[in-house]
């Protein structure tokens, strides 16, 4: 086959064109990846729905029917319903969902709940463990690390152990039977060191 010699300037121009096209195609993808990452790390937003954080149903939407009265908390992540991005980039976004008899709720928590369903930060305010245990007798959250206890009916007030603060709560709303966040956390999330913002903002 005849070898075609092209002037160097033509080859160079073609390579430059390819590079520009590559950058042109790659940039939107890179931009989208960066914005997805930002959305995954962002704290819960108004209108976010909730999905199971772990287990067989990981990633599935959580509805009111998944929450029985006085049953142990479910670990969830918020999800942007418009984009489907699950905000699991930071464990500080982990949320505990549970349902309590509305008659037992403090007035403030009743206004932040949907039919007794409440949402709290899952990160202990002592040294940041997951608040994974549930005392079915006292109906309290219990942290497995140093046994701090929190009363979910009363704003996750600390009722035992070394935790210095309640768990931050997340107000809820229901639109067309869909459970969603009605705002952001009402206080600092997790273990706080002076001068450090856990979300890095
Ligand atoms: S980290 Fe929860 S009690 Fe210590």
Ligand 1 environment, Cβ below 6 A = 124, 126-129, 143, 145-146, 148, 161-163
pLDDT of residue 35: 79
Beta carbons within 10 angstroms of residue 14's beta carbon: 11
From ligand 1's centre to the CA of 159, what distance in Å?
A: 13
Alpha helices in the chain (DSSP H): 8-41, 107-111
Percentage of residues in the chain having pLDDT higher than 70: 83
Entry pTM = 0.82
Fold of 49-181: Rieske Iron-sulfur Protein (2.102.10)
149-177 per-position pLDDT tens digit = 999 999 999 999 999 999 999 999 998 88
pLDDT of residue 190: 87
Whole-angstrom Cα distance, residue 33 to residue 152?
37
CB neighbour list of residue 131: distance below 8 Å, 6 or more residues apart: 73, 96, 120, 122, 123, 124, 141, 142, 143, 148, 150, 167
Atom index in ligand 1 nearest the CA of residue 147 equals 3
With beta carbons less than 8 A apart as the criterion, state whether 172 and 119 touch: yes
The DSSP line for 130-162 is: B--EEETTTTEEE-TTT--EEEGGGTTEEEESS
119-137 per-position pLDDT tens digit = 999 999 999 999 999 999 9
Q: What is the mean pLDDT of residues 67-96?
A: 97
Give, for ligand 1, the residue of 148, 150, 192 to mutate: max count of ligand atoms closer than 8 Å to Cβ. Answer: 148
């Amino acid at each position: 086959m005849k070898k075609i010699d092209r002037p160097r300037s033509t080859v160079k121009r073609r390579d430059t064109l390819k590079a520009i096209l590559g950058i042109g195609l790659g940039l939107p993808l890179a931009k989208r990846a960066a914005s997805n990452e930002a959305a995954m790390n962002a704290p819960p937003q108004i209108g976010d729905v909730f999905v199971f954080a772990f287990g067989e149903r990981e990633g599935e939407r959580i509805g009111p029917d998944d929450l029985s009265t006085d049953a142990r908390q479910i670990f969830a992540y918020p999800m942007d319903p418009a984009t489907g991005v699950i905000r699991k980039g930071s464990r500080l976004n982990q949320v505990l969902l549970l349902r309590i008899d509305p008659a037992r709720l403090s007035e403030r928590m009743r206004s932040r709940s949907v039919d007794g369903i409440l949402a709290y930060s899952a990160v202990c305010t002592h040294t940041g463990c997951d608040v994974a245990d549930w005392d079915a007798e006292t109906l309290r959250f219990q942290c497995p690390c140093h046994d701090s206890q929190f009363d979910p009916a009363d704003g996750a007030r600390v009722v035992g152990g070394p935790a210095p603060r309640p768990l931050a709560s997340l107000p809820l709303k229901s639109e067309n039977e869909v459970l969603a966040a009605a705002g952001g956390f009402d206080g600092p999330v997790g273990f706080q060191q002076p001068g450090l913002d856990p979300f890095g903002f």
